[in-house]
Amino acid sequence: MAGSGSGSGTPCASCKLLRRRCTSECVFAPYFPAEEAQRFAMVHRVFGASNVSKMLLDVPPPQRPDAVSSLVYEANARMRDPVYGCVAAISFLQNQVSQLQMQLALAHAETAALQLQLQQQHQDQDDHHHQQCILENAAAHHQLMLQEAFLKKESMWT
């Protein structure tokens, strides 16, 4: 038996499970070695060996490892959740993204409100300082007027 790409003569997981002779042209051998029989059994149970073979042959060889990885993931999800499969995980993640986006929007709104509050406090402080300066100037001006009036009254030259 040629086969699983390891040169050991043992059939790949697919050929072993399906009790076939594993040839050098076996489409499953590079992706389902004999020691990963459980992975292939799961993919076979969900998709069927014939369908998986057709899918792999339709995919360019450089992309096949990713295709197998995807099939294994989807089969695993379908085994855990026979009704929704990987759609359940996708929905869960989409809901989580939506919740996080709402939390982020709330955090942005809170940050904007705090920045506005801080600006208002600075403006209030500036206004208070400005009013205090006006009052001090008015008091100084009043004091000057009083002194001037006093000097005019007490002047020796008038």
Rounded to whole angstroms, what are the CA distances from 133 to 12, 36, 120, 138? 90, 84, 20, 8
pLDDT in the model for residue 115 = 94
Give the contacts of 11 (CB within 8 A, at least 6 positions apart). Answer: 1, 3, 4, 20, 21, 22, 34
What's the pTM?
0.59
pLDDT band, very low/low/confident/very high, at 122 (cuts 50, 70, 90): confident
Which structure tokens are listed for 84? 């929704």
**Radius of gyration for the alpha carbons in the chain, expressed in angstroms and rounded:** 41
Q: Are 28 and 41 in contact (CB under 8 A)?
A: no
